[in-house]
Amino acid sequence: MDDNGQSVYPLLDFIELVENKVPIGGGTAKTQTVKCTQNAAASIALVCSESSYDQSMLILDRLAGLDLSAMTEYRITDCVGSEFVKEVPTHIKAGKIEEISQRLSSNVLKSRIEELNRSSDKEETIKKAVEGKPSGILRKNYNGPTIKAMYVECDGTGVPGRRSELADTKGKHADGTSKTFEAKIGAVFVVEYTSDGVPLLLENGEIYRDKKVSYMGTVRKVDDFGPMLYQHALDNGLEDMDVVVFLGDGAKWVWGIQNEYFPYALTSLDLYHSTERVNALVDLLQFKGRGSAVKKQVFKDKCIKLLHYGQISDMLGMIETASSKKGNEKKLECALSYFRSNIERMDYGAFSACGVFVGSGVIEAGCKVIVGNRMKCAGMHWLKDHAEKMINLRCAVRNNVFLDHFLRNRSAIASCHAS
């Protein structure tokens, strides 16, 4: 007993139990406490981060003999996930961004792209790259100095939410309601080039890329996500980079973050997204006469080929001389203005020839792996707070820091008790 007459269990403190207090019922002041060891909590949360709580019950029962309820799993996972949730950085200063901007203002990849666009063999070089034969140096044969380029990507994806939390959220349904809230995912990875910015190639001719990708995510608003993504880049070596490439889709908030936190980056608008825009744009045009469907497909194929070669002006010229369907004039002009305003981010032929990635497949995969595979299954509806913890938990697992986190905790505990 302590001085207040409460029972004390020193052994429980010694073995460092994970503890999570949660309300028992809606509107009640009573709470229920779930306690388990660090090892058990880590194991339970790891399984629950990969499978639904119902499926996790079966797995944990079969493999470890743990007879847990779905609510107990939820509470333990919620507690463990909270350890990986990061606060919004408040210490980021414009001076730091400006300092990095000045150092990276001379971008080797930008210089190579500009040089290629001025060269006489531009068309042939780009043609080879678009056909999957970029020029470069075999990585296994190169022993010279290299430069590091950090690729930064981000995107948003919907998470099915609880009706109570979506009451005031505008959605895409006819009545203006929403069934989801947005999770924003960021990713960074590093690619090495020669000191002159020449891409290093694998034996199959593909550009070498470090497969290690570091993810982060949140359900917070854009104003919070921006500094969080910037801090994530810093944590992964932004200050040691020689070049930064920012890849994104057409969302305004994406380029707002790039402009504020990565103003010095070489920017590329995702080629897949641009291709979708071309498809939608051609659908606004009128193709008359016999074989109109074939004419439309031929026209679309030509547009997409020009897009892949980065010949945006030529593509727009073709479209501007075509006829639009009646009533689509304003939509067509809006679609054309989108390409005009992003033309510098669509130099895909030169990007490919210089070894710059033009597809945001990494972040698309991240949205699927971090959110889609676990949080968009049939019948799931998430509270924003728990979704935040689950997203950060899954990022920690994918970034290979989940187990390290618990091993460090155990090491610290052992050291403390030993002393």
Digit-coded pLDDT (tens) for 365-387: 999 999 999 999 999 999 999 99
Would you say residue 24 lies in a domain?
yes
* 30 neighbors 23 (Cβ within 8 angstroms): yes
State residue 46's pLDDT score. 94
Would you say residue 296 lies in a domain?
no
- The answer, yes or no, to whether residue 397 has pLDDT greater than 80, is yes
14: pLDDT confidence band, cut at 50, 70 and 90? very low
Rounded-to-integer distance, Cα 223 and Cα 253, Å:
9
Would you say residue 78 lies in a domain?
yes
Would you say residue 150 lies in a domain?
no
H or E, element range at 244? strand 243-248
State residue 288's pLDDT score. 87
Mean pLDDT of the chain: 87
pTM of the model as a whole: 0.88
- The answer, yes or no, to whether residue 419 has pLDDT greater than 50, is no
Q: How many domains is the chain partitioned into structurally?
A: 1
Tokens 């678009």 sit at which residue? Answer: 130
**Residue 169 φ then ψ, to 5°:** -95, 125
- The answer, yes or no, to whether residue 5 has pLDDT greater than 70, is no
Residue 54, domain extent: 10-86+381-418
What mean pLDDT comes out for the span 332-344? Answer: 94
Percent of the chain with pLDDT over 90: 68
106: pLDDT confidence band, cut at 50, 70 and 90? confident
State residue 209's pLDDT score. 86
What mean pLDDT comes out for the span 307-311? Answer: 96
What mean pLDDT comes out for the span 178-185? Answer: 93
* Helix locations, 65-190, DSSP H: 70-82, 94-103, 108-118, 122-130
Q: Between the CA of residue 153 and those of 48, 247, 258, 265, what are the distances in Å? A: 27, 5, 9, 12
pLDDT digits (tens, 9 = 90+) for 45-85: 999 999 999 999 999 999 888 888 999 899 889 989 999 99
Pick the residue with more confidence: 19 or 210? 210
Pick the residue with more confidence: 258 or 102? 258
- Residue of 390, 343, 347, 341 whose CA lies nearest to 369: 390
H or E, element range at 184? strand 180-194
- Distance from chain centroid for Cα 322: 37
Q: Between the CA of residue 39 and those of 36, 80, 174, 287, 375, what are the distances in Å? A: 8, 11, 48, 65, 25
State residue 205's pLDDT score. 86
- Residue of 151, 139, 114 whose CA lies nearest to 198: 139
pLDDT digits (tens, 9 = 90+) for 245-301: 999 998 999 999 999 999 999 999 999 999 999 999 999 999 988 889 999 999 999
pLDDT digits (tens, 9 = 90+) for 130-161: 988 888 999 999 999 999 999 999 999 999 99
**Residue 15 φ then ψ, to 5°:** -90, 5
93: pLDDT confidence band, cut at 50, 70 and 90? confident
- Residue of 212, 135, 138 whose CA lies nearest to 398: 212
Would you say residue 346 lies in a domain?
no
Would you say residue 123 lies in a domain?
no
Strands (E), 26-100: 31-36
Would you say residue 61 lies in a domain?
yes
Tokens 């690619």 sit at which residue? Answer: 191
Rounded-to-integer distance, Cα 277 and Cα 281, Å:
6
pLDDT digits (tens, 9 = 90+) for 191-219: 999 999 999 999 988 888 888 999 999 99
- The answer, yes or no, to whether residue 412 has pLDDT greater than 50, is no
Burial readout 333-366 (b: 16 or more C-beta within 10 A, e: otherwise)? eebeeebeebeebbbbbbbbbbbbbbbbebbbeb
Would you say residue 412 lies in a domain?
yes
